[in-house]
């Protein structure tokens, strides 16, 4: 018997012809051609003739279907696509949620995922909001250079009493299920980049339901110095809040800070109303303004990110299947107050590096 490497193309073709046209067994072909049985099997793995006559008719003239039958019928495919468009308008979802809503429990998640890919849908990154314009880059660059020129290195840790902002978290009745759903990506087609349901939501824009809003402040060396939930925010309401809460917050932050009552907050209209500014002036407080669309220049935004991640992880670790709005509000405040002071101090201490990085990148956004 000759080795497979020394078999000529003619002998291979002759062996394949005997096997396919004459329907001889592998042993019979080996005896006629002088090729080993293993070599005959190897040669005949690829068919020489793929004619239409090989598709034997079954029943009422229906051609025999090649390969496995499809797992999804035409009707089920239409249901999946229709449900995809409905579910996408409510926010992020997983293939498991889509399969449950379509009641296709006998079909695997991989089958539905492959069908969506075949239909043109991919799990693309959601488009982000808040583009920086050229004027924003100039303002950020000017702000960074002014800080670098006029302020000392300990400005962020000693001269600023606290960093203040408000945030919101959407209440989910089933927090564990929501926490296990992937965020930041959406099922969409490549051409649907800015279509409805394909853009990433802001922190205060959710997929329906009630929201827990909270005022918070952090200070270097003191950790979280303020954590107060609120319902609505207006200039009048915020003025009352400032008169009631800020004096005690400034007293907490007097330890290793300078006597100047300087704090940072963003440009929210309610927080910067005339009433609120007058109330702050009466208590000798000064706002350190940061450029617009610059959350990377307020360290409390990083603490809010840590808080959001902690809430999701706790929902999974503690197996919180159901939670009321009041219980969620208590959990938000408790988790915020439990953030270690070392993490807050390290975040605030990174401001000097952020200023240097903004100057180096000519105003572009940072990784913080």
DSSP labels, 198-219: -BPPPTT--SSS-EEEEEEEEE
Kindly report the average pLDDT of the chain as a whole number: 83
Which structure tokens are listed for 151?
């302020």
Burial tier of 206 (Cβ tally within 10 Å: 0-12, 13-18, 19+): middle
What pLDDT does residue 353 have? Answer: 93
* Total residue length of the chain: 368
Percent of the chain beyond pLDDT 90? 39
Rounded distance, CA 356 to CA 361, Å? 9
Residue 82, C-beta contacts closer than 8 angstroms, at least 6 positions apart? none
Pairing state between β 285-289 and 223-230: unpaired
Q: What separation in angstroms does the CA of 41 have from each of 2, 15, 37, 44, 234? A: 14, 10, 6, 5, 81
What pLDDT does residue 21 have? Answer: 83
Rounded distance, CA 320 to CA 343, Å? 26
What pLDDT does residue 143 have? Answer: 94
Tell me the angle at which helices 9-20 and 26-33 cross, rounded to the nearest 10 degrees.
Answer: 140
Residue with tokens 């009321």: 324
H/E segment holding residue 261: strand 261-265
What pLDDT does residue 268 have? Answer: 86
Rounded distance, CA 160 to CA 235, Å? 24
What pLDDT does residue 292 have? Answer: 87
- Tell me the chain's radius of gyration from C-alpha atoms: 33
Dihedral (CA of 221, 222, 228, 233) sign: negative
List beta partners, residue 162: 263
Which structure tokens are listed for 182?
């992937």
pTM above 0.85, yes or no: no
Rounded distance, CA 16 to CA 273, Å? 88
Rounded distance, CA 54 to CA 125, Å? 46
Rounded distance, CA 162 to CA 246, Å? 10
Rounded distance, CA 321 to CA 181, Å? 14
What pLDDT does residue 326 have? Answer: 93
Rounded distance, CA 30 to CA 201, Å? 68
CA angle 306, 285, 295 (to 5 degrees): 30
Residue 19, C-beta contacts closer than 8 angstroms, at least 6 positions apart? 26, 29, 40, 44
Tell me the angle at which helices 274-282 and 235-252 cross, rounded to the nearest 10 degrees.
Answer: 30
Q: In which residue ranges of the chain is pLDDT below 50?
A: 51-59, 202-207
**Beta-strand runs (E) in the chain:** 57-58, 62-63, 121-125, 162-170, 185-189, 211-219, 223-230, 261-265, 285-289
What pLDDT does residue 204 have? Answer: 42
What tens digit of pLDDT does each residue of 300-343 get? 999 999 999 999 999 999 999 999 999 999 999 999 999 999 99
Q: How far apart are the first and last CA of the chain?
A: 71
What pLDDT does residue 236 have? Answer: 92
What pLDDT does residue 91 have? Answer: 59
């Amino acid at each position: 018997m000759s080795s497979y490497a020394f078999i000529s193309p003619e002998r291979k073709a002759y062996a394949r012809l005997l096997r396919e046209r004459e329907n001889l067994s592998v042993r019979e072909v080996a005896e006629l051609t002088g090729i080993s049985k293993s070599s005959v099997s190897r040669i005949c793995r690829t068919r020489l003739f793929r004619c239409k006559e090989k598709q034997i008719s079954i029943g009422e003239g229906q051609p025999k279907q090649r390969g496995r039958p499809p797992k999804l019928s035409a009707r089920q495919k239409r249901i999946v696509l229709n449900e995809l468009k409905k579910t996408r308008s409510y926010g992020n979802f997983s293939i498991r949620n889509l399969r449950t809503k379509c009641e296709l429990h006998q079909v695997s998640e991989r089958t539905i995922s492959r069908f969506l890919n075949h239909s043109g849908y991919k799990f693309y990154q959601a488009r982000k909001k808040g583009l920086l314009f050229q004027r924003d880059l100039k303002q950020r660059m000017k702000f960074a250079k002014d800080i670098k020129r006029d302020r000392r290195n300990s400005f962020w840790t000693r001269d600023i009493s606290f960093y203040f902002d408000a945030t919101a978290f959407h209440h989910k009745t089933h927090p564990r299920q929501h926490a296990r759903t992937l965020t930041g990506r959406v099922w969409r087609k490549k051409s649907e980049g800015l279509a409805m349901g394909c853009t990433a939501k802001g922190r205060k824009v959710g997929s329906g339901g009630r929201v827990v809003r909270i005022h918070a402040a952090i200070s270097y060396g003191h950790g979280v110095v303020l954590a107060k939930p609120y319902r609505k925010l207006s200039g009048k309401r915020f003025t009352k809040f400032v008169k009631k809460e800020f004096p005690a917050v400034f007293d907490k932050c007097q330890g290793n800070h300078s006597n100047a009552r300087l704090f940072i907050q963003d440009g929210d209209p309610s927080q910067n109303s005339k009433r609120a500014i007058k109330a702050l002036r009466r208590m000798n407080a000064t706002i350190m303004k940061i450029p617009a669309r610059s959350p990377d220049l307020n360290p409390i935004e990083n603490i809010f990110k840590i808080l959001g991640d902690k809430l999701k992880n706790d929902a999974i670790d503690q197996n919180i299947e159901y939670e009321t709005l009041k219980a969620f509000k208590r959990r938000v405040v408790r988790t915020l107050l439990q953030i270690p002071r070392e993490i807050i101090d390290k975040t605030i201490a990174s401001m000097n590096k952020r200023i240097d990085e903004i100057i180096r990148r000519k105003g572009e956004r940072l990784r913080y």
